[in-house]
Amino acid sequence: MKKIIIIGAALISLLIITSCKLTQVTDPVAAINEDNEEFLKADNKGGEVFRVLLTSDEYKVVQVKNDKTILRTPDEGGDKYMSNEIDKLNIIDEARTGLITVWLYPDSGKIMKIRSQQPTYFKEVDALLNDDIMRWNFTFPKKVVEPTKFDISYRVVLSKKKADDEIIKAVQDRLKEGN
pTM exceeds 0.85, yes or no:
no
Which residues, in sequence order, are bridge partners of residue 74?
none
- 164 — pLDDT class (breaks 50, 70, 90): confident
pLDDT reading at 64 higher than 70:
yes
What number is the average pLDDT over the span 151-159? 94
How far, in whole angstroms, is CA 71 from its chain's centroid? 21
Using an 8 Å Cβ cutoff, are 66 and 146 in contact? yes
Phi, then psi, of 76 in degrees rounded to 5: -60, -40
Give per-residue pLDDT as tens, 97-109.
999 999 999 999 9
pLDDT > 90: what percent of the chain?
Answer: 58
Q: How far apart are the first and last CA of the chain?
A: 75
pLDDT: which is higher, 10 or 63: 63
CA atoms of 97 and 34, how far apart (whole Å): 15
pLDDT: which is higher, 24 or 52: 52
Instruction: Tell me what the pLDDT averaged over the chain comes to.
Output: 85
